[in-house]
């Protein structure tokens, strides 16, 4: 049983993703967010347990990617699909209202592409190339839960949502290096970017649920700044 513990945790991630997807299609966005967070926790611990036990198998790697596609690809896509039914459509875009929601599943496709790329990319051992799928899913889920009243108001429109969706599809597969929060030691010199990021996160916590969205945006912006300035 212990040898199967990492795969069992991965399956828990998959179940959370299925529950999040079901909740999203019924517009139960808060429950969908909770299940995506739970899936992210299981996704974190399955790898940790596998490494601690010295267990590594091809089936575990494949199962992990399949679970992540559902939890961090399909589930947030389902939330965006429902959101497209709530956002404001300008008059010139009204004829596209029955069809535009289906573009939400571009996010699932790009998430799958990002996961396949990650599995084969040897450059991503200590950092990420492109936005990790859990961060992307948490961004969308927390944004929808925390800012639903704004997103469904006339101040926001389906066009903005579609463009935002395309931007994050791009971030998933973009050749942009993003730092990983892995500490080999705790010195300032070796970890200053991570410490700056964590200090910024503390400042954003008062935003409540939307803090998750803000933290992920801060993570992307800081990573791009580090990349452009080569400041590491």
Please say whether the beta carbons of 43 and 67 come within 8 A: yes
DSSP H stretches of helix in 85-205: 106-120, 133-146, 148-151, 158-173, 188-204
Q: Which residue has the tokens 């926001």?
A: 156
2-229 belongs to CATH 2.60.40: no
What average pLDDT does this structure show over 65-71? 94
Residues 6+ apart with CB under 8 A from 188: 195
Per-residue pLDDT tens digits for 98-143 = 999 999 999 999 999 999 887 777 666 667 888 999 999 999 999 9
Q: Domains of the chain: which residue ranges?
A: 2-229
What percent of the chain clears pLDDT 90, i.e. is strictly above it? 64
């Amino acid at each position: 049983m212990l040898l199967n513990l990492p795969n069992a945790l991965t399956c828990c991630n998959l179940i959370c993703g299925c529950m999040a997807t079901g909740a999203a299609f019924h517009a139960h966005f808060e429950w969908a967010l909770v299940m995506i967070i739970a899936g992210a926790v299981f996704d974190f611990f399955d790898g940790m347990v596998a490494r601690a036990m010295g267990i590594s198998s091809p089936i575990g790697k494949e199962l992990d990617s399949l679970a992540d596609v559902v939890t961090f690809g399909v589930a947030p896509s389902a939330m965006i699909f429902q959101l497209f039914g709530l956002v404001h459509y300008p008059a010139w875009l009204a004829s596209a209202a029955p069809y535009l929601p289906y573009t939400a599943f571009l996010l699932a496709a790009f998430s799958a592409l990002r996961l396949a790329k990650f599995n084969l990319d040897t450059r991503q051992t200590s950092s990420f190339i492109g936005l990790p799928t859990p961060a992307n899913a948490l961004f969308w889920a927390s944004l929808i839960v925390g800012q639903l009243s704004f997103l469904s108001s006339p101040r926001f429109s389906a066009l903005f949502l579609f463009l935002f969706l395309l931007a994050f599809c791009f971030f998933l597969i973009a050749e942009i290096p993003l730092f990983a929060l892995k500490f080999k030691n705790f010195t300032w010199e070796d970890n200053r970017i991570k410490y700056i990021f964590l200090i910024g996160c503390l400042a954003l916590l008062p935003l409540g649920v939307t803090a998750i969205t803000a933290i992920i945006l801060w993570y992307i912006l800081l990573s791009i700044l580090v990349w452009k300035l080569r400041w590491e």
